Structure 1
Amino acid sequence: MNKMGTIIGFTFKNKVKTKSFMITTLILVLLLSIGMNIPYLIKVFQGDDEASAGIHVAVVAAEGNRASDLLKNYASGVTTEGGATVDQYTSAEDSALKTSLDEGKLDGYIQLGAESEMGLPPVTFYSPDGDMDAEVQTFLQLGLQQANAQLIAGDKLTPEQIGAMNAPVQLDTKQISTDGTAVTDEEKDAPPIINYVIVYALLMMFFMSIMMTGNMIAAEVTSEKSSRIMEILITSASPLAQMFGKVIGIFLIGMLQIAIIAGAVAVNLMLPHNASILTEFDLDLGQLNVNLLIYGLVLYVLGYFLYALIYAAIGSIVSRTEDLGQAVMPITMLGLVTFYIPLFSISNADTLLVKVASYIPFTSPLSMLLRIGVGDVAFWEILVSLLILLVSIFVFGWLAAKIYRTGVLMYGKRPTIKEIRKAMKAYKI
């Protein structure tokens, strides 16, 4: 046990100091930080003044035009960022209007004809580039629609009634079951949006961590074997202590990397310009299912050890680092399948494929994570999946131990399955 602890400590300290670990972790943190701050960066490059200037248009109409006054009154009630301002001019040739357009103070202007008994006359929008911003278009459409309704209604309706008449109609949705009856909110129990975000983030992080640390273990074992250092190491510690020491040591590396990434997310969310990012995307951390994080950690740990032991066994039978990529290719492909099944099923976590995959040891860590986060899964199903995964770890751990103990001393070309089986029979675990 003391020797294994020494190996764990040596592996952890040695890998933490490597440039590959530092650079990879730094790149991940930078990419994550840039991604979370993209909206703010866009505002910075566009200019804060432009982003907060609001809507500023002008109306060219005869003096006392009621439609122009109604649009101006509507603008005073706009509560969006920057608000809305409507200037009034009697002629498109007004020098003040041209100056405002040239200096970019106006988004453009609309021209109204003479008042009509049938509501608004034809309206034309003019701008320096001939285009209309989406925000300006929405403002003008709503404002002119309300003005048109008020012109037609005259004094028969109050401004409040006009506003209510033009307010968008709210449509609610209800789910129905196969027998045609409505499903209640309690029965539907749809997972909140925050769970989808957390599940997606955990899928990405767990897959990358397991694959990176698995390849790290295989490369570590193969490099020691190819440089003949392994022959010296086995005289001071048993092959089993070496294997489990490396697996646990690099597991701590993976946990450290996940902690750094989680810390980077927390720091970015605490930045002043990101204070409202959760609100803007309708995300409420209070709705987060805490069980998702607990089960996610358990599934990550079990999934890691399953793949790590297999990577260690494969690395032990490869004598040259040049052959390692080809040797681990099947496990890499299996890892991609494990990742893509829940990734492409995140919108519907209760498909037969996901349910079956949640009981297969190699695919269950991520598939069961998906079902727990955004699917419908019973507690006994989680226990069965975890039990199968745990038993598989013991089985593959026993098998990996036998392969590792014999493989580290087999040099030359990669041994065949028959040769490995013959060598394994000589050792008992």
Structure 2
Amino acid sequence: MNKMGTIIGFTFKNKVRTKSFMITTLILVLLLSIGMNLPYIIDQFKGDSTTNAETQIAVIAEDGNQAAELLKAYTSPEGMPQAKVVQYTSADDAELKKALDEGTVEGYVTFAEPTGAGLPPVTYHSENGELKGDVQIYLQNALQQANTQFVVGDKLTQEQIAAMSTPVQIATQQLNPDGTAGDKDASQESTPAINYVIVYAMLMLFFMSIMMTGNMIAAEITSEKSSRIMEILITSASPLAQMFGKVIGVFLVGLLQIGVIVAAVVVNLKLPHNATILKDLDLDLGQLNINLLLYGIVLYILGYFLYALMYAAVGSIVSRTEDLGQAVMPIMMLGFVAFYVPLFSISNPDTLLVKVASYVPFTSPLTMLLRIGVGEVAIWQVIVSLAILLVTTFIFGWLAAKIYRTGVLMYGKRPSIKEIRKAMKAYKI
């Protein structure tokens, strides 16, 4: 055990200090930081100093214009886009032109001559001739209420006019199997958006970590074997201590990389200009499924060791680093299948393919993660999937130990399966 601890520590320190690890981690953190701060960076280059300022809309009308007064008096309901209406008497007003140039005013509204009992025809003028989403929603609601008041005059109160202009909300209810109406249970409620984001992020992160660390293990074992260092190493520590020491050491490297990436996300979220980023994206951390994080950690650990042991076994039977890519190709293809099945099913996580894949040990780490996060899965199904994955990991651990102990001292061309089986019978694990 002491020798394995030494190997774990040596592997961890050696891999963390490599340029490839540092550069890869740095690039991931930089890309993540740039992506999270891209809107702010764009605003800085555009010189937009009104990012957090209230949107202003100008209206061109003479003092006392009823339509303009009604538009100015409109108050947007809570939760709807907000704006401030500023009145000018002419489109040639110097202050209006200055506000448009500086970007403090989005555009201005003009009214044509009245053509009937309702509000006069309205035209919105802007630099690109388009209405932005929030401005369009605000103006449509404001002008609708103004038009109603313009028609009814003093016949209705302000509260009645506001009630007429408020959109009717339509609730939904799922029918029970017998066709009767009933409340949805907890499993039938819509999945919060934050769970989709976390599932997508964990799928990407776990897949990259498992594939990168797996290749790292295979490459190191093959490199030691091709340089004949392996013959010296096995005299100081048993092959099993070497294999599991390397696997656990690289596992710690993967955890460190994930920790650095998560820390980068937290730091970027704490920046002042990103304080409202989750709210702007309609993401609520309070709706996050905690079981997703807990089961995700367990699935990652079991999935990592399953693939890492396979990579270690393959790396031990390859004598030249030039042949390693071809040798690990089947494992990589298996990993891609495990990744793409849940990735392309994230919008429909309860298909038969996803359900079957969540019990296959090579695909279950990511597929069951998807079902827990955004699908419908019973606790017994999670337990069965984890049990199958755990048993498979132990079986492959035993096989990998036999293959590793045999393969590290087999040089020359890559041995056939028959030759490996024959050599494995000489060792008992």
TM-score, normalised via structure 1 length: 0.91
Is 1:144 aligned with 2:143? yes
Q: Does 1:167 align with 2:166?
A: yes
8 A Cα contact 2:175 2:182, kept in partner: yes
Q: Distance in 2 between matches of 1:389 and 1:57?
A: 60
- 2:384 paired residue number: 384
CA distance in 1, matches of 2:236, 2:373: 46
1:75–1:86 Cα contact (<8 Å) kept: no
Offset at residue 62 of structure 1 (A): 5.3
Match of 1:119 in 2: 118
Cα separation, 1, equivalents of 2:110 and 2:412:
86
Secondary structure of the structure 1 residue equivalent to 2:108: strand
| Rounded Cα–Cα distance in structure 1 between residues aligned with 2:102 and 2:401 | 76
Deviates further, 194-203 or 277-286: 277-286
In 2, are the aligned partners of 1:402 and 1:424 still within 8 Å (CA)? yes
Instruction: Provide the rounded CA distance (Å) in 2 between the counterparts of 1:202 and 1:104.
Output: 40
Query: Which residues of 2 match residues 95-134 of structure 1 at below 5 A?
Result: 106-115=105-114, 117-134=116-133
* Aligned partners of 2:113 and 2:121 also within 8 Å: no
Unaligned runs of 5+ in 1: none
* Paired residues for 1:10-409 under 5 Å: 10-61=10-61, 64-74=64-74, 83-89=83-89, 106-115=105-114, 117-187=116-186, 188-409=188-409
Indicate how the Cα distance of structure 1 residues 116 and 75 shifts in structure 2: closer, same or farther if over 3 A, else same. farther
Letter in 2 for 1:34: I
Distance 1:217 1:139, change over 3 A: same
Aligned partners of 1:292, 1:135: CA distance in 2, in Å? Answer: 34
SS in 2 for 1:413: coil
SS at 1:124's partner residue?
Answer: strand
The 3 A distance-change label for structure 1 pair 42 and 178 is farther
Tell me the TM-score normalized by structure 2.
Answer: 0.91
Helix, strand or coil for the counterpart of 1:362?
Answer: coil
Q: 1:387, CA displacement in angstroms?
A: 1.5
Question: Alpha-carbon deviation of 1:329?
Answer: 0.7
What amino acid is the match of 2:153?
G
Q: Could you tell me whether the CA contact under 8 Å between 1:52 and 1:81 is conserved in 2?
A: no
| Number of residues of Structure 1 aligned to a counterpart in Structure 2 | 428
In structure 2, what is the Cα distance between the partners aligned to 1:103 and 1:205?
A: 42
Equivalent position amino acid for 2:265 in 1: V
**Inter-CA distance 128–233: structure 2 relative to 1 (3 Å threshold):** closer
TM superposition shift of 1:80: 7.5
Instruction: From the superposition, tell whether residues 58 and 202 of structure 1 become closer, same or farther in structure 2 (CA, over 3 Å).
Output: closer
Are the equivalent residues in 2 in contact too, given 1:78–1:84 (CA < 8 A)?
A: no
Q: Structure 1 34/119 Cα, relative in aligned 2: closer, same or farther at 3 Å?
A: same
| Partner deviation per Cα, 1:5-41 (whole Å, 9 max, x = no partner) | 2111111111111111111111122222222223333
3-state secondary structure, aligned to 1:250: helix
2:424 is the alignment partner of 1:419: no
Distance 1:49 1:82 in 2: 18
Query: How far 1:78 moved relative to its partner?
Result: 9.6
RMSD after superposition: 2.5
Change (3 A) 1:348 1:95: closer
Aligned equivalents of 2:416, 2:379: Cα separation in 1: 43
- Residues 1:56 and 1:412: Cα distance change in structure 2 (over 3 Å): same
State the AA in 1 paired with 2:150. Answer: L
Aligned-pair distance for 1:183? 4.2
Q: Secondary structure at the match of 2:319?
A: coil
Task: Report how far residue 239 of structure 1 moved.
Answer: 1.3
Summarize deviations over 1:109-150 as a string: whole Å, max 9, x none: 333234455112333334455444444433333222222211
- Aligned equivalents of 1:68, 1:414: Cα separation in 2: 84
Give the whole-Å Cα distance in 2 for the aligned partners of 1:149 and 1:361. Answer: 63
Distance 1:174-1:94 versus aligned 2 partners, 3 A rule: same
Quick one: distance in 1 between partners of 2:100 and 2:279? 36
* Bigger mean CA offset, 99-108 vs 384-393: 99-108
Q: Where does the alignment leave 5 or more consecutive residues of structure 2 unmatched?
A: none
